[in-house]
Amino acid sequence: MAFQTTIHLKDCSFSYSLGENVKKFTLRDNTFVETKVGNYELTRLLENVPNSGDGFLLKIIINKNLSGV
């Protein structure tokens, strides 16, 4: 899997990147979980109406070196 340093989503005017001073414990504090291979993963359903179950799945994976998303 190839990791990128900056992500630009389709139909979005913003670019997203990982901060230079990010720490592993900060990711864990923000509900990222460590995978079997050591990467950090956040999986969350993004809903327009909370608790509706109607939305799309957001999945963010950060490599174990904390250098790419």
What is the residue extent of each domain of the chain? 21-69
DSSP codes joined into one string, 10-54: TT-S-EEE--TT--HHHHHHTT-EE-TTS-EEEEEEEESSTTS--
**What letter would DSSP give residue 66?**
S
The bridge status of strand 6-8 relative to strand 40-47 is unpaired
Q: Which CATH superfamily is domain 21-69 in?
A: Lp2179-like (3.30.1820.10)
Question: Can you say whether the dihedral through the CA atoms of 18, 15, 60, 43 is positive or negative?
Answer: positive
pLDDT at 28: 94
Please tell me whether the overall predicted TM-score, pTM, comes out greater than 0.85 for this model: no
Can you list the residues of the chain whose pLDDT is less than 50? none
